[in-house]
């Protein structure tokens, strides 16, 4: 399983309807201040991602 992909790779995966999970691992203050969240993305605490 890939841990990260480029935006181009992600576009290809979505185009071919691959089962992908998008995690937003920005620090909480940055996440809270931004009005943009990628569709379907789930926020995770970056310090807990490996758990």
Give residue limits of the domains in the chain: 7-48
Say yes or no to pLDDT of 3 above 80. Answer: no
pLDDT-derived band at 51 (thresholds 50, 70, 90) equals low
**CA–CA distance, 34 with 1 (Å, rounded to integer):** 29
Q: 7, 24 in Cβ contact below 8 A?
A: no
**CA–CA distance, 9 with 30 (Å, rounded to integer):** 25
Average pLDDT over residues 43-51: 83
Which residue shows structure tokens 């990628």? 38
Summarize pLDDT for 6-46 with one digit per residue, the tens. Answer: 889 988 988 888 888 888 999 999 999 999 888 888 999 98
């Amino acid at each position: 399983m890939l841990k990260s992909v480029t935006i181009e790779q992600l576009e290809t995966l979505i185009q071919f309807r691959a089962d992908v999970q998008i995690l937003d691992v920005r620090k909480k203050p940055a996440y809270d201040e931004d009005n943009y969240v990628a569709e379907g993305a789930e926020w995770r605490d970056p310090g807990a991602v490996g758990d």
